[in-house]
Amino acid sequence: MGHTFLTLSTTTILEAVANGHAFGFDIVDLTGMPGGTVYPALRRLEEAGYLTSEWEAERVAHAEARPRRRYYEVTPAGREALSEAARRYRRPQPAPESRRSTPKPTRA
Amino acid sequence: MSLRSRLRDLVTRPHLRVIAAIGVIVPRRLRADWRDEWHAELQHRESRLARWDRLTRHEKWELFQRSLAAFWDALWLQRRRLEDDLVQDVRFGLRMLVARPTFTCLAVLTLALAIGANTVVFTFVNALLLRPLPGVAAPQQLVRLGRQFQGKPYPSDSSYPDFLDYRQQAQTLSGIAAMSPRAFHLTTDDGAVRVEGELVSGNYFEVLGVAATRGRVLEPIDDSAAGAPVVVVSDSLWRRHFAGRASLLGGTIRLDGRPFTVVGIVDGPFAGVKIGSPRDIWMPLEAIRLASPGASAPGMVGDAAIFERRSASWLEMFGRRAPGVTLAQTRAELTVMAARLALSYPATNRRVGISVEAGLGRDVETQRPLERYAVLPFVAVGLVLLIACANVAGLLLVRMATRRREIALRVALGAGRLRIVRQLLTESLLLVVASSLAGLAVATWLTRALRGLLPERLLFLSFDLDFGVDWRVFGFVLGVGAIATVLCGLVPGLLASRHELGTALKTTRGAGWRHTTALRSVLVVAQIALSVILLVAASLCVRTLINATAIETGYDTAGVLTARMDFARQHYDEARGREVARAILERLHAVPGIQAAAFAATLPLNDGRWEDAIRRDGDPTRLQTFQNVVTPRYFDVMAIPIAAGREFSDRDDERAPRVAIVNQTLARVLWPDASAIGRRVTFDGRSREIVGIVHDIKGRNLFDPPGPMLYVPQLQSAQPNVVLHVRSTVAPPALVTRLRHEVQAVDPYLPVFAVMPLGDHVTATLTPQRVLAFLIGGFGLLALVLAGTGLYGLLAYSVTDRTREIGVRMALGAKRTEVVYLFVADGMKRAVIGIVLGTVVGCGVTPLMAGLLYGVSPLDSLTLLVVPAVLLVVALAACGVPAGRAARTDPTTALRSD
């Protein structure tokens, strides 16, 4: 688990998780990014140790008659990386990475 | 959920089907979670939108699209599948190898020997044929240029006017340089030494892209009328003979007695443009003019007229291709130029084309025969690899038989066929990696051993080469390793994954594994057949060497030491040369232990370098004859018997009538019906009386019958470059010291070089035969051992496999001899098939190597009898041991085994 460089979209996703949007489709809705971006990003973040995930209890899902959900949570390392990345992306002079055509994060 | 609603779901909600479909490629371990997560995602989306029934078509389409995003997610997870599986495969493979050390050691040893043998052969080919000229910039751009006379197999050196024309006009080459190899007598702190050097054109270093480590390299100005007498020397020469003194740079050294200023020192790996013949001195071509005024020294290049003569062949030309130019373009351009030169100078260039060859440092003349000799070892070593792989594949098959339950279990637990194949390939890959490393070590050791078989040089081929491991050798090992991996691992892998494995869980022995045994039988038969072929080839090579060693040379090499001296470099005139030669011989004859000493122009077995046409007086027919110029007592030293007439004496000098001695062949050819004594022959424009006839010797080479030979007394034909022959009872080291001492007493600045026993010279000419016999013989033995162990392994396994059967048979009254017979017959059946097959195929292929043989037919009956016999004996031994063990089986224990 090294220092994974966070792109703008990954930062956005991490930030969404940090703000309590704990599962995949929630994040998809929030950020407006396609699932093909969000899910691999979540896996990457988890691999980097910035996120942990937990499956909700079977009976909860059963009671609500829907498939189990996987909840994501930010780790301390993730928070640190997030604040570092957030600082970087808020500078007046945007870093080259941020020029990519990614949708702007929208706050809930 | 009812089946009906599920079906309806599948039809009506395509996004769920998409997830199910994509899920297939997700690593199994992650698949369930992955599907859950995406189901949750899509269902959430669905519920947010509304009930499915009320969705608009557009919303349904969006949902479907979202489900496709799962594909990217699944794709991303592939990485993990590989990582996980690979690590798992490797870890499991290592565990399996460590758990069975005997198997692992045997397999690694087998493969290491085979890979090592392959690497040795390649290392030699690499050193002799592939490595580029060291120390120059971009050697792949360099091209050799030579004059190609019509009808000649090899290109010749060029003339100076041709060189200038090509250099001025060629557009496809960024530069053309010329060089003429030349030895010098260098005066050093402790006497004179002979050093090899090159006379070079002013742009030589520029074209090669070589810089000086100290001072500067030669430049065009040095090779012009304005140039001063300057040289560049090698770092090694500077250290060897001038103790690395800084004053050498800018100082003066004496070469052939003349002073030259050292302007630069170049360091290795660059050592001239001939691979294996390091050179120490580089002097501008123009120095020939400096060295020549009025010099009448015989045999010297130093004649300024050589610059003007378009017919003179003395320069090795080479060029550097301009960027983006192909060899074909260069060839096309220069061919046109050669044709133009032929039109402009028909007298000299009418039949002259140009040869353009890629690369620099080797001549085509030595390269072609080497390529011919390299084929057989490569084929042989390839066969060894095949045999070794068959052996290891056999071992793997045996081991798989013992592992069939484990594999069946893995299949039952859901491992796919691909997965099983990959696991087994991984295991053989691990084996091969270990073997390749061991093989490299084996190769390094073997290369060193083999180099001991090589003389320093053989005619014009030097063996002072770099036999190290470079990226080519490494790549070759990788390639061989890859082939070995596939050969060893694929067959067992494919077999293991067959569906009938599923039944292996239920059975204990036999069923479903019979074909393994059949396959192993095929492998063993193939191994035996291949080793028969190899052993036949090996036997032919060894017999060739034995025959060649037994060739009568016609002279006695024992106790004869030879050494060279070069009078031309000392600027002796003819009288001085005769005087020095006489004084040296006189002093040597006074040394106790020296029986006789003589000078000759050349050593025998020099591949026809000393041939010229002669004719019988009064008969215009010319006859190509081997010649030698010798002093009196030469025939004593060589122990060549005089058949008739007399030997040369000191009275046969320049004032006496011209005389000659012929060998029996020449006498017979010219005067078949009468004695040759008293007859006259003419060569070199002079008529000579034949005063003696000597016995034939092998002059040109060992393999051809002795041709016509003519000897001329040295006092009547001055030779600047001579070989001293000394027959003595003194041991060589002491003799060499004494010899140098006596020569220095005559001229302290006359170097003695190329000192070696005559026997070594004769032995060296058999180097190709010796190397082939050693290599192919070694490979043959290796193949024999491998085939033997292969057969042994098959039977040993068969005995273990059939323990219970043996028990039953013995319990029912079978005798021990019958059990032994059962297994021996089983094994020998395969051995005999292999031997017959190998012999038949061997007979078909050995005629291809006829060109490498001497005194033995490719279908040598002795070989064809002995090799199968040897294999039969080995096979019997390989069968006998396990069969014996089978016979000692205790029926009660055997019946209790599972």
The beta-carbon neighbor of A40 closest among B37, B68, B72 is B72
Integer Cα distance of B544 and B805 in angstroms = 50
> Among residues B791, B898, B797, which one has the least CA distance to residue B397?
B797
Q: Which chain A residues are closer than 8 Å to B76 by Cβ?
A: 39-40, 43
Out of A25, A37, A43, the one facing B44 most closely (by C-beta) is: A25
Q: How far is A102 from chain B (nearest CA, A)?
A: 17
Nearest-Cα distance to chain A for B64, in Å, is 12
Task: Identify which of B37, B43, B76 has the shortest CB distance to residue A70.
Answer: B37
The C-alpha of A68 sits at a distance from chain B's nearest C-alpha, in angstroms, of: 6
CB-CB neighbors (< 8 A) of B62 in chain A: none
The answer to pTM > 0.95 is: no
- A37: chain B residues, CB-CB within 8 Å: 69, 72
Instruction: Please answer yes or no on whether B37 and A24 come within 8 Å at the CB atom.
Output: yes
Using DSSP, state whether B611 is helix, strand or coil. strand
Residue of A nearest to B43 (CA): A66
Q: Which residues pair with B321 in a beta bridge?
A: B173
Q: B69 vs A34: CB contact, 8 Å cut-off?
A: yes
Q: Does B40 contact A66 at a Cβ distance shorter than 8 Å?
A: yes
Q: What is the ipTM of this complex?
A: 0.70
Determine the 3-state secondary structure of B599 from DSSP.
strand
Which residues of chain B fall below pLDDT 70?
A: 1-12, 48-55, 81-84, 291-303, 459-460, 493-516, 607-608, 897-898
Residues present in chain B in total: 898
Q: Which of B36, B73, B77 sits opposite A68 (nearest CB)?
A: B36
What pLDDT does residue A15 have? 85
Whether residue A1 is predicted with pLDDT greater than 50 in this model: the reply is no
Nearest in space to B192 (alpha carbons), one of B257, B129, B108: B257
Closest in B40, B69, B70 to A68, CB measured: B40
- Measure in Å the smallest separation between the Cα of A57 and chain B Cα atoms: 13
Q: Which residues of B touch A69 (CB under 8 A)?
A: 37, 40
Find the farthest-apart pair of alpha carbons in chain A and give their distance in angstroms, rounded: 50
Chain A residue with the nearest C-alpha to that of B42? A25
The amino acid that residue B432 corresponds to is: V
Closest-CA residue of chain B to A61: B40
Contacts with A28 from chain B: Cβ below 8 Å? 41, 66
DSSP B128: I
Q: Which chain B residue has the Cα nearest residue A41?
A: B73
**A67 and B CB contact within 8 Å:** yes
**Which of B13, B16, B41 to substitute to test the interface with A, most A CBs within 10 Å?**
B41
Q: Which of B24, B28, B63 is nearest to A35 (CA)?
A: B63
Q: Which residues of B touch A29 (CB under 8 A)?
A: 48
Minimum distance, in Å, between the CA of residue B143 and any CA atom of chain A:
49
Count Cβ–Cβ pairs < 8 Å, chain A vs chain B.
Answer: 58
Q: How far is B72 from chain A (nearest CA, A)?
A: 5
Binary contact (A24, B72; C-beta < 8 A): no
Distance (Å, whole) CA B647 – CA B654 = 16
Q: How far is B94 from chain A (nearest CA, A)?
A: 26
What HEC string does chain A produce? CCCCCCCHHHHHHHHHHHCCCCCHHHHHHHHCCCHHHHHHHHHHHHHCCCEEEEECCHHHHHHCCCCCCEEEEECHHHHHHHHHHHHHHHCCCCCHHHHCCCCCCCCC
Cross-chain residue pair B76–A40, CB shorter than 8 Å = yes
Q: Are B780 and B531 in contact (CB under 8 A)?
A: yes
Structure confidence at residue B299 (pLDDT): 36
What tokens appear for B772 in the block? 């082939």
DSSP-assigned beta bridge partners for residue B149: B352
With CB atoms and an 8 Å threshold, state whether A43 touches B77: yes
- A36: which chain B residues are within 8 Å (Cβ-Cβ)? 68-73
A35 in Cβ contact with B65 (< 8 Å): no
> Which pairing describes strands B173-188 and B316-321: parallel, antiparallel, or unpaired?
antiparallel
Which chain A residues have a beta carbon less than 8 Å from that of B34?
none
Q: What is the DSSP letter of B708?
A: -
Q: Best interface-test mutation with B: which of A21, A25, A46, A66 has the largest number of B CBs within 10 A?
A: A25
Spell out which residues of chain A touch residue B68, defining contact as CB-CB under 8 Å: 36
A29, A66, A70 member nearest B43 (Cβ): A66
Q: For B547-559, what is the HEC assignment? A: HHHCCCCCCCCCC
B69 to A67: CB separation less than 8 angstroms, yes or no = no
- Residue from B73, B77, B81 to probe the interface with A (highest A Cβ count within 10 Å): B73
Question: So what's the pLDDT on residue B49?
Answer: 66
Q: Residue B40: closest CA among chain A residues belongs to which residue?
A: A67
CA distance B14 to chain A (A): 17
Chain B residues whose C-beta is within 8 A of a chain A C-beta are: 33, 36-37, 39-45, 47-48, 66, 68-73, 76-77
Q: What is the pLDDT of residue B582?
A: 93
Alpha-carbon gap: B415 to the closest alpha carbon of chain A (Å): 26
Are the Cβ atoms of B73 and A36 closer than 8 angstroms?
A: yes
Task: Show Cβ contacts of residue B39 under 8 Å, excluding neighbours closer than 6 positions.
Answer: A67, B16, B19
- Distance (Å) from the alpha carbon of B50 to chain A's nearest alpha carbon: 15
Would you say B74 and B403 are in contact if contact means Cβ atoms under 8 Å apart?
A: no
Return the higher-pLDDT residue of A97 and B212: B212
User: Looking at this protein, which amino acid is placed at residue B788?
Assistant: G
Neighbours of B440 (CB within 10 A): 19
Whether the pLDDT of residue A89 is over 80: the answer is no
User: Which pLDDT belongs to residue B52?
Assistant: 60
Q: Identify which has the larger pLDDT, A101 or A73.
A: A73
Q: Give residue-wise pLDDT tens across range B58-82.
A: 777 777 777 777 787 777 777 776 6
Mutate to test the interface with A, among B16, B37, B78 (most CBs of A within 10 A): B37
The owner of tokens 């000419």 is: B765
Cβ(B42)–Cβ(B63) under 8 Å? yes
Q: Which of residues 28-57 of A touch B (CB under 8 A)?
A: 28-29, 34-37, 39-40, 43, 55
Q: Is the pLDDT of residue A105 over 60?
A: no
Of the residues B22, B44, B49, B71, the best mutation for testing chain A's interface (the one with the most A CB atoms within 10 Å of its CB) is B44
Contacts of A39 in chain B (CB under 8 A): 37, 69-70, 72-73, 76
Name the band, by pLDDT with cuts 50, 70 and 90, for residue A104: very low
Of B42, B43, B72, the CB nearest to A36: B72
Please tell me if residue A23 touches chain B, with a CB cutoff of 8 Å.
yes
